[in-house]
A and B are shown apart, each in its own frame.
Chain A
Amino acid sequence: MSAQAAAPPPAAEGARARRLTERVFRVRELGIIVAFLALVAVTGILEPRFLEAGSLRNLALNASIFAILAVGQTLVLVTRNVDLSVGSVLGLSAYFAGDLLSNHQGLPIPVVFLLGIALGAACGLFNGILVTWGQVPALVVTLGTLYMFRGLAFLWTNGTQVNAETLPDAFLNLGTDSVLGVPFLVLIALVVMLAVGQWLRDYRAGRELYAIGSNPEGARLAGVRSERRVLTAFVLAGALAGLGGVLFTARFGTVDATAGFGYELTVIAAAVVGGVAIFGGAGSVYGAAMGALLLGTITSSLIVLKVAAFWQQAAIGALLLLAIAFDRFVALRVEAALRRRSARRAG
């Protein structure tokens, strides 16, 4: 039993508890922003070139694709599942988009996007079916498809790569163009984040994802169609990875079978740093996207500061542990605060 198992708390206290949790939430997102700004400032002082417009722009562009994947990953994580295959799906979709455009110059670009998204969604559907109907743990399913989709990409590319010269300029420009000063890629990431964020917050289906992650058996008894919802989460995560793949090709131009290799761990790290609970039920896509921005910035600033690659990895790992330690610390503080509060009431 928890410490505050006392009489029903008066409404005023509940409101205070709510404000407390809200504050904690804000502290979390605020913490990421502060960490981000501090990082940019320190790096900027040590290496002023880091603050040039082009460099900052690169930062945002790099983070965009990760942010889109992190948004998709959040959908899966809140249902108490995980998708390890997103990096491979991205690779598959990236090569698919490049190959398509190289061989069919006249193909309209929106069609390429739709096909890339559809390919990703199909991969997600495959994952989702195995997880829901097959009742195989997502960790195992997506670990398998992580290798399988990557293998497919190797088979398909057969050691070749798509080069930027063979791609239409209009497509490559998407990776660098801006709309009203905001890079197109960043814009897409923002739109994806806001759309998914709203869906998770304000729609039944979105809320049901949290319910499933918070108590799977309870969700079933409440009449939530868990299988369908989890399937949807996987399909959306796959579709967003597919979108990420097409954007990857537009941004980098050169694509081979290793595109997106190892992304899955970065993406999960970003979501966890952003406050998404690894055991489901809690977290927001905004946090996850900000986590992606922070991780990307760390990597870039360490590169700019010419820190050895090992330290970059170690820094990301340290940040992950820090984020988890922070969550635990806050949870204990909240519990202690609630206890003291009821002490005041009783005393």
Chain B
Amino acid sequence: MSEPIIALEHAEKSYGAVRALRGGDIALRPGEVRALVGENGAGKSTLVKLLGGVVRLDTGTMRVDGEAVDFHSPTAARDAGIAVIYQEPTLFPDLSVAENVVMGFHPLGALRRIDRGAMRKEVKGLLDRLGVRLDPDRPVRGLSIADQQIVEIAKALSFDARVLIMDEPTAALSGNEVERLFNVVRALREEGAAVLFISHRIEEVFSICDTATVMRDGAVVHDARIADMTPDDMVRRMVGRELSALFPKQDAQVGEPVMKVHRLTREGVFFDVSFEVRAGEIVALAGLVGAGRSEVARAIFGIDKPDAGHVEVGGRTLPPGRPLVAMRAGIGFVPEDRRQQGLVMDLSIARNATMTRTGALARGGLIRSGAEDRLAKEWATRLQLKFHRLADPVGFLSGGNQQKVVLAKWLATEPKLLILDEPTRGIDVGTKSEVHRLMSELAGEGLAVLMISSELPEVLGMADRVLVMHEGRLTAEIARDDADEESVIRAATGQVQEAAA
């Protein structure tokens, strides 16, 4: 076996009292694509940050080409040939795509001035390699999440990396873009680079990786060739216990329509969208990223004003652009971006969980913290929230538990319709099935659920009915029994004629 380009031995890292990493052993060899898998909070991100020079080791050794090193800054890691695509967005919205890619390493001309021509050419080349048509001169502000991800990837490829570390690079990408990214990864492997690939999508891991490192509770628990593993085996090692049925969908009594959407249109975003959701029914809104699904949800909830069409709840038409009225009419909305839109990260768990009920909890305009805590505790118990104290900032919780707080916030309003936008994105396998069980339970109690999801297994596993969008239009409506991967993908990629929606 060849010598690792970079290796961590017995790495440990604590943040205050929290031991984030207590047994980090990993080695990346030339020409290897290695998966790093584990539940949220297993220590993957800490390991990535160590390799990227963002944080420093407490104990243990890091070796580059066999020599012990200590990265004291991201620059040091970069100088050693290590490129990292981080999970959190690291782009500069005010600057151009090209500048985002080369920041800190602009090509220079005479008098050490930035050579803009060379910069543009270099970035154009990188984007071509990724197969995307993106103008290097346009500002990053306003790019779709998928395009932003592409810019992140171009940034990591902008120098000759010997090691490429990707922390969930595909979360926002559509099928085509993932395939192109994988082609680039394969090309890097041919060139003898090492790639570390982190993903919650097990099928991607099995399609691209050669080897896998499994982490659990801050330590590496398994290291093997992919060929010697099965997906079930991998999940079992990640979770450390047997998973009960992945999609615990119960049959529910489907009742009267709770919400009707009539020919909703927002110019340039979605067109002529009509459908209804019935009590006790889970309706999935499937499609590629950028098909306009989240935008439809935002318009229903009144965040964006539609240009035409209207929404009816319980027989009454909602005024456009009025979230508060939508809330009072019984709609709850769990947004896609938990950290930015779903929660106030610095506020306590209790405050976040009761935020929708401040009116009811107040006496004479003052919120009674006792009532607040009681309500929060009630929901925390119902949703089996894992927390230390209700007064802790919600940012302390893992992704899955954060999502439970968002759910609690909306369930506390006793909604008739709950809109869930990517309810399990970035949530570990265990919590994911808890969220699914909860959805199923709620539907059983008569709640209408509109779920937006980019994960096909989730769509097929949970939905009573699947609506598919393609480029802003509804292209298919598929009943649970008729829905399979092929039918949904065909509609999502526009390979069917307009269906009667």
Contact = CB atoms under 8 A, between A and B. Distances in A.
A218 B92 CA distance: 7
Interface stretch (A103-111, A120-128, A144-152, A338-346): A338-346
A149 B268 CA distance: 55
Given A5-B144, A8-B147, A15-B135, A204 B91 contact: no
B99 A207 contact: yes
> Which one of B73, B92, B137, B290 has the highest number of Cβ atoms from chain A below 10 Å of its Cβ?
B92
Interface stretch (B103-111, B217-225, B227-235): B103-111
Contact of A222 (B104, B138, B298): B104
Contacts of B290: 5-7
26 contacts: A1-B294, A1-B295, A3-B269, A4-B142, A4-B144, A5-B146, A5-B294, A6-B472, A8-B150, A9-B133, A9-B134, A9-B135, A13-B135, A203-B112, A203-B113, A204-B108, A207-B95, A211-B92, A214-B92, A217-B90, A218-B89, A221-B54, A221-B84, A222-B103, A223-B78, A341-B268
Nearest to B49: A221
A56 to B, nearest CB: 35
A208 B90 contact: no
B267 A202 contact: no
Contacts of B155: 222
Interface residues of A, number: 49
A72 to B, nearest CB: 20
A5 B137 CA distance: 18
Given A215-B90, A222-B90, A340-B267, A1 B103 contact: no
A5 B145 contact: yes
A258 to B, nearest CB: 38
A18 interface: yes
A12 to B, nearest CB: 8
Interface of B: 52, 54, 73-75, 78, 84, 86, 88-95, 99, 103-104, 106, 108, 112-114, 132-135, 137-139, 142, 144-147, 150, 155, 266-269, 271, 289-290, 294-295, 298, 304, 336-337, 471-472
A32 to B, nearest CB: 20
Interface string A9-41: 111011101100100000000000000000000
A291 B235 CA distance: 61
A224 interface: yes
B231 to A, nearest CB: 31
Nearest to A13: B135
B137 A208 contact: no
B93 A1 contact: no
Contact of A14 (B95, B135, B150, B298): B135
A223 B289 CA distance: 30
A269 to B, nearest CB: 21
A47 interface: no
A14 B144 contact: no
A179 B145 CA distance: 54
Contacts of A344: 268
A223 B94 contact: no
A7 B94 CA distance: 21
B104 A208 contact: yes
Contacts of B267: 339-340, 343
B269 A223 contact: no
Given A11-B135, A339-B268, A224 B103 contact: yes
Contacts of A7: 290, 471
Nearest to B114: A202
A5 B296 CA distance: 12
A340 B307 CA distance: 12
Nearest to A201: B114
B403 to A, nearest CB: 18
Given A4-B268, A5-B145, A7-B290, A219 B92 contact: yes
Interface string A222-265: 11110000000000000000000000000000000000000000
Contacts of B294: 1, 5
B144 to A, nearest CB: 4
B90 A14 contact: no
B114 A223 contact: no
A281 B92 contact: yes
Counting from the closest, the 7 A-B pairs by CB-CB distance are A14-B135, A343-B268, A281-B94, A218-B90, A5-B144, A214-B92, A223-B75
Interface of A: 1-11, 13-15, 17-18, 21, 202-204, 207-208, 210-211, 213-215, 217-225, 277, 281-282, 335, 338-344, 346-347
Given A3-B295, A211-B103, A221 B90 contact: yes
A214 B95 contact: yes
From DSSP, what is the main secondary structure of chain A's interface residues?
A: helix
A213 B94 contact: yes
Contact of A211 (B73, B84, B95): B95
Given A210-B95, A217-B88, A10 B133 contact: yes
Given A4-B142, A7-B290, A18-B135, 20 more contacts: A1-B298, A1-B337, A3-B304, A4-B144, A5-B294, A6-B269, A6-B290, A8-B144, A11-B134, A17-B135, A204-B114, A207-B99, A207-B103, A208-B104, A210-B95, A213-B94, A282-B94, A339-B268, A340-B268, A346-B471
B108 to A, nearest CB: 7
B192 to A, nearest CB: 24
Nearest to A6: B290
A210 B155 CA distance: 17
Contacts of B54: 220-221
B142 A2 contact: yes
A167 B289 CA distance: 71
Contacts of A21: 139
A18 B268 contact: no
B92 A17 contact: no
A10 B89 CA distance: 23
Contacts of A223: 73-75, 78, 104
Contacts of A335: 142
Contacts of A341: 268
A342 B268 contact: yes
Given A3-B269, A8-B132, A14-B134, A215 B93 contact: yes
B92 A215 contact: yes
A210 B94 contact: yes
> Which one of A1, A202, A277, A343 has the highest number of Cβ atoms from chain B below 10 Å of its Cβ?
A1
Contacts of B269: 3, 6, 339, 342-343
Nearest to B265: A343
B334 to A, nearest CB: 15
A43 to B, nearest CB: 36
Contacts of A340: 267-268
A14 B106 CA distance: 21
A1 B336 contact: yes
A320 B150 CA distance: 38
B138 A18 contact: yes
A347 B269 CA distance: 10
B54 to A, nearest CB: 7
Contacts of A204: 104, 106, 108, 112, 114
B115 to A, nearest CB: 9
A341 B268 CA distance: 7
A220 B94 contact: no
Contact of A214 (B93, B142, B472): B93
